[in-house]
Amino acid sequence: MPGEPLIYGRGLVKQFGTVRAVDSIDFAVERGEAFGFLGPNGAGKSSTMRMIACVSPRTSGDLSVLGLDPDRDGARIRGRIGVVPQEDSLDLELTVRENLYVYGRYFDLPRSELRPRIEQLLRFAQLTERGDDRVEPLSGGMKRRLTIARSLINEPELLLLDEPTTGLDPQARHALWDRLYRLKSQGVTLVLTTHYMDEAEQLCDRLVVMDRGTVAAEGSPQGLIGRYCTREVVELRFGPGESERHADKVADIPERIEVLPDRLLLYTDQGDATVEAVQRRALAPVSVLVRRATLEDVFLRLTGRQLVD
Amino acid sequence: MSGERATLALRVVPPAVLGFGRGRRLIERNLLVARRTWWVPLSGIAEPVFYLLSIGIGIGKLVTSIPGPHHSLIPYAPYVAPALLASSAMNGAVYECTFNVYFKLKYAKIYDAVLATPMGAADVARGEVVYAMLRGTAYAAIFVVMMAALGDIRSAWAVFALPAAVMIGLAFSAVGMAATTYMRGWTDFDMVQLALLPMFLFSTTFYPLSTYPRWLQVVVELTPLYHGVSLTRSLTLGYVGVGDVGHAAYLVAMGAVGLAVASRRIRTLLLR
Amino acid sequence: MATPPALRATQYFLLAYRRTWRASIMSTFVSPLLYLLAMGVGLGSFVNKGGGAASLGHMGYLQFVAPGLAAANAATAAAGESTFPVMGGIKWTRTYFAMLATPLRVVDVLAGHLTWIGARVAMAVAPYLIVMAAFGVTPSPEAAAVLPAGILVGMAFSTPLVAFAATQDNDGSFSLVFRLGMIPLFLFSGVFFPVSVLPVGLRVIAYATPLWHGVELCRLLTLGRLGAASAAVHAGYLVALAVVGAVIASRTYTRRLRT
């Protein structure tokens, strides 16, 4: 039905024993958009993705995927979506080409249909030359591309990517982003989780920031920066443990100040003016850096700096 | 309609014809893997054949005859051969459905990928169990031919020894698969040995039940391999009776229960 | 005093074993007992009743089969410890490389692992001695020497196998070693029946196998009938095999680990 979101969650809960991994979240993903779940480890991103992928039954709340109920129509939904899991689950005992073939057979796709599609996906993943090689010796980037190619074997309307570029080198990440743009321009709806802020800014039209199982904020990357952060950040670097001494001297200058052991972060809309003001106070920072605020600042503001394991 | 519930029931209760449905896609995958290293599964037949030869040309010289079914007196090799057929069906099935399935479950993460597709937990269980049965059937067929060549077959009933071996394979692979889903680490596999070795040695494989005191006879009669051995022995020696229906029923029931437990467990393990 | 380098490597295996020893109780203690009961006592009752005893040189079947099983268990334990754990050290846990990042040399790693394998073999043989004594089939005090003899059998299997394992890229070939190597040796090397009942062609092959020499060595020791000549032949063969294996292993280890 037109107008109905492709994925729709309301009051969605996932409980493991006494732990609420996902604690009543609301979200909607429209057809054709790229939607991100952002959050630190343990925020509930992967649990949410697994519920959408129909491999994890929800504890309570509403969830509809492609207009269907995962509890009732799991197999039908899975037949129409593609999944790129957090860890590659490639079949190491098979070749690159066989991986695509076997996976396609799991979808009950006929051989005749699979043959041309496999060649097309190998080209898409830039793996045509490695088609008959075993998967094991491939590089991390190649394996990731193959996993994405595999997730496209059933020509899905919706692609779920759980931390698609974690652990890849910069070249491999950019190559992957390029493939994802292409899919998006072809009309595939992308839903991804990430904790790389540049990735979220690059890829997502809209995203939610998750923290401890709940949605902390929702919006476009630029909108979130506007709402939760200033335009620019001035970083004053001092020797280890020295920054705290200087904090009081400049605290009145920016809109907000954050004190880290070796740095002061001054959140401001006018970076250069702030730097001038700081210089008048006769501090001697080791270095001064003015930069644009990023989603990372929003993220840290919303989810805090504590390490979550 | 409560679709998923209905399909769940259908998925858990093994359909009359096993391996039909999506489970056969997993069989296709396993065959593709086996094709590359065909000699590894093929060499699995060597062990029971070596045992058969060793009994025939070695121990058979020391044990001239042994009391068989219905107070018969039987040369040693034809007595032991059907038991070796049964225990090799057991070993093959258990090996495939414990070590191999555990590796796929915990390390290769094969099923995580499978379950992201329209395939379900029961398809996985059924696919693996049927694959193990197919492999076991191939071994059993070779073994039966070897038995015939060595003159260890003494009745036309022996044509049913192959289906009997398949039944043993089904029972043990289903229960093996169910047990595998409870394993916490490789060291737990010593429990598998703890179950298999005594069965192999004491389920009337090498000598009759009458060797034991009565209480031990009862224990032996409860073990699944005893029923497998009794069934194959009746068939290849030609002493088929009503009791053999009971042996077969025991094995089929064991397979059905094992398969149901395995499907449910894979569901709780992977579809969390 | 400093621990010798090789023993420092051995320590690793000992520590790793401390976490899994409970599970190996099965293979070490229970299975010897089960085999002795099933074959020695159960099957033995039919051997002794029939005419079989004559070809055994008029000893009970349990008496015959127990030392054979001890030797076979030593060989099997050695083979298990000399294949998969070697592949683990090279590829899975890469323990060997962790050791080589310290002052340990390749020979230390090899010697340390072989020492550990020797200890594991001793653990596999000792229960047989205890069970045999309990069944009263160790008439001679020399029977205690089955323990070092068993370790010798183990090392004769271990050194060639670690040499081979270090050349392999995956564990696929190991199942062939067991299925086509260890199993037929177990079944045809005089453990369950005297090699003399075999057809002449097979008999010659059996005499050439290391397990037959090991079985004979252990059997003659339990009976207290080991003469100097047969001791020299059997033990000499096994020592030679262990030494040649160790020399080859030091080469294959060096080639594999120094990259």
The one-letter amino acid code at C98 reads A
B260 token code pair? 């149901």
User: Helix (H, G, I), strand (E, B), or coil: what is residue A234?
Assistant: strand
CA dihedral A176, A177, A181, A184 (to 10 degrees): 80
Domain enclosing residue B169, as ranges: 15-270
| B80 to chain C: closest CA residue | C43
Structural domain count, chain B: 1
CB within 8 Å: A75 and B118: yes
**Predicted pLDDT of residue C69:** 94
* Residue type (1 letter), B168: I
CA distance A23 to A215: 9
Output A52 or A242, whichever has higher pLDDT.
Answer: A52
Q: Is residue B57 part of a domain?
A: yes
Is residue C200 less than 8 Å (CB to CB) from chain B?
A: no
User: What pLDDT is recorded for position A235?
Assistant: 92
3 state SS of A293: coil
* Closest by Cβ to B58, choosing from C46, C50, C192: C192
pLDDT in the model for residue C125:
93
Average pLDDT of the segment spanning A243-253: 86
Q: Is A103 on the interface with B (CB under 8 A)?
A: yes
**Which pLDDT belongs to residue C152?**
98
B46 contact residues in C (CB cutoff 8 A): 179-180, 183-184
- To the nearest whole angstrom, how far is the Cα of B272 from the nearest Cα of chain A? 5
Q: What residues 192-211 of chain B have any CB closer than 8 A to a CB of chain C? A: 193-194, 197-198, 201-202, 206-207, 211
For chain C, how many structural domains are there in total?
Answer: 1
pLDDT in tens, A13-64: 999 999 999 999 999 999 999 999 998 888 999 999 999 999 999 999 999 9
Angle at B270 between CA B264 and CA B271, to 5 degrees: 80
| Percentage of residues of chain A with pLDDT beyond 90 | 59
- Tokens 């037109």 sit on residue: A2
Q: Under CATH, what is the fold of the domain A230-292?
A: Alpha-Beta Plaits (3.30.70)
Chain A positions touching B114 (Cβ under 8 A) are 106
Exposure of B1 by Cβ count < 10 A (0-12 exposed, 13-18 middle, 19+ buried)?
A: exposed
Chain C residues in contact with B53 by the CB 8 A cut-off are 187
Q: What interhelical angle do B189-202 and B224-237 show, nearest 10?
A: 40
- Tell if the CB–CB gap between B109 and A93 is shorter than 8 Å: no
SS3 assignment, position A127: coil
- Min Cα distance A104 → chain B (Å) is 9
What's the CA gap between A184 and A203, in Å, rounded?
9
Count Cα neighbours of B102 within 13 Å in the Cβ-side half-sphere: 18
Give A154's pLDDT tier (boundaries 50, 70, 90). Answer: very high
Chain C residues near residue B197 by CB distance under 8 angstroms: 30-31, 34
B-contacting residues in C 28-47 (Cβ below 8 Å): 30-31, 34-35, 37-39, 42-43, 45-47
pLDDT of A3 above 70? no
Q: What pLDDT score does B184 carry?
A: 85
Give φ, ψ of A57 to 5 degrees.
Answer: -70, 140
Query: Cβ of A107 under 8 Å from any chain B Cβ?
Result: yes
Residue A56, CA atoms < 13 Å, CB-side half-sphere = 21
Q: Which residues of A touch B270 (CB under 8 A)?
A: 55
Chain B, nearest residue to C56 by Cα: B62
The domain of C54 spans 5-257
CA distance C140 to C54: 22
A229-233 mean pLDDT:
88
ipTM > 0.85, yes or no: yes
Q: Which residue of B has its CA nearest to A95?
A: B33
DSSP H helices, chain B, are 3-12, 23-36, 39-43, 46-54, 60-62, 76-95, 101-102, 110-115, 121-149, 161-180, 189-202, 214-222, 224-237, 243-270
Evaluate if residue C1 carries a pLDDT over 90.
no
Give residue B26's identity as a one-letter amino acid code: L
**DSSP letter at A137?**
T
In whole angstroms, what is the distance from residue B96 CA to residue C230 CA? 44
Residue in A74, A76, A106 closest to B114 by CB? A106
What is the CATH code of the structural domain delimited by A7-223?
3.40.50.300
Would the CB atoms of B43 and C179 count as touching at under 8 Å?
Answer: yes
Whether the predicted pLDDT of A277 surpasses 60 = yes
- Count CB atoms within 10 A of the CB of residue B227: 25
Q: Which residues of C touch B47 (CB under 8 A)?
A: 179, 183
Q: What pLDDT is recorded for position A63?
A: 96
- For residue A242 the two structure tokens come to 């020295």
pLDDT at B145: 94
B168 class by beta-carbon count within 10 Å (0-12 exposed, 13-18 middle, 19+ buried): buried
Partner chains of B (3+ C-beta pairs under 8 Å): A, C
**pLDDT for the residue numbered C16:** 85
pLDDT at A294: 84
Check CB contact under 8 Å for B25 and A87. no
Tell me, what's the pLDDT at A307? 63
Chain B residue numbers with beta carbons less than 8 Å from the beta carbon of A150 are: 113
The C-alpha torsion from A193 through A197 and A200 to A203, rounded to 10°, is -130
Q: What's the order of all strands across the beta sheet hosting A19-29?
A: A19-29, A7-16, A60-65
Q: Would you call C42 and B206 a contact, using CB atoms and an 8 Å cutoff?
A: yes
Partner-chain contact A78 B25, CB within 8 Å: no
Subunits adjacent to chain A (3 or more Cβ pairs under 8 Å):
B
- Separation of alpha carbons A157 and A78, rounded Å: 11
Summarize the confidence of residues A245-272 as an average pLDDT: 88
CA distance B188 to A221: 50
Domain boundaries, chain A: 7-223, 230-292
Contact B61 C27 (CB under 8 A): no
- The whole-number pLDDT of residue B105 equals 87
pLDDT at C64 over 70: yes
pLDDT reported for residue B2: 36
- Mean pLDDT to the nearest integer, A103-116: 94
Residue B212 makes CB contacts below 8 A (sequence gap 6+) with B220
What is the rounded end-to-end Cα distance, in angstroms, of chain C?
A: 32
- Cβ–Cβ of C43/B206 closer than 8 Å? yes
Asked if C202's CB is within 8 angstroms of B61's CB, the reply is: no
Residues 202-221 of C with CB under 8 A from B: 202
The shortest C-alpha distance from B98 to chain A (Å) reads: 18
How do beta strands A60-65 and A7-16 pair? antiparallel
Q: Which of A56, A89, A154 minimises the CB distance to B113?
A: A89
B240-266 pLDDT, tens digit each: 999 999 999 999 999 999 999 998 998
Against chain C, the chains showing at least 3 CB pairs within 8 Å are B
- Which of C42, C179, C198 comes nearest B58 by C-beta? C198
Average pLDDT over residues C20-34: 76
- Amino acid residing at C113: H
Residue to substitute from B4, B20, B28, B117, interface A, most A β-carbons within 10 A: B117
SS3 annotation, A161-228: EECCCCCCCHHHHHHHHHHHHHHHHCCCEEEEEECCHHHHHHHCCEEEEEECCEEEEEECHHHHHHHH
Are B40 and C43 within 8 A, CB to CB?
no
* Nearest-10 crossing angle of helices C5-25, B189-202: 60
Query: pLDDT 10s digit of each residue in chain B, 272 long?
Result: 333 443 443 444 444 344 457 888 999 999 998 888 777 777 888 888 999 999 888 888 888 889 988 888 999 999 999 999 999 999 888 888 888 889 888 888 899 999 999 998 888 888 998 888 888 888 889 999 999 999 999 999 999 999 999 999 999 999 999 999 998 887 788 788 888 999 999 999 999 999 999 999 999 999 999 999 999 999 999 999 999 999 999 999 999 999 999 989 988 888 87
For B4, which residue in chain A has the nearest alpha carbon? A72
B112 belongs to a structural domain: yes
Q: Does B79 touch chain C (CB under 8 A)?
A: no
Which residues have C-beta within 8 Å of that of residue C2, sequence separation ≥ 6?
A: none
A161–chain B Cβ distance below 8 A for any pair: no
* Section A74-101 average pLDDT: 93
CA distance C24 to chain B (A): 7
Q: Please state, for a pLDDT cut of 90, what percent of chain C lies above it.
A: 64
At residue A309, the pLDDT reads 54
**Interface test with chain C among B37, B38, B39, B62, by most C beta carbons within 10 Å:** B62
C59 pLDDT band (50/70/90 cuts)? confident
pLDDT at position C45 over 80: yes
Round to whole Å and give the CA distance between B69 and B239.
7
Sort B85 into a burial class: Cβ within 10 Å, 0-12 / 13-18 / 19+. buried
Nearest residue in A to B113, CA atom? A89
State the burial class of residue C96 (Cβ atoms within 10 Å of its Cβ: 0-12, 13-18, 19+). Answer: buried
Q: Cβ of A106 and B112 within 8 Å?
A: no
* C198-230 exposure pattern, b = at least 16 Cβ within 10 A, e = fewer: beeeebeebeebbbbbbbbbbbbbbbeebeeee
Which among C26, C56, C193 has CB closest to B194?
C26
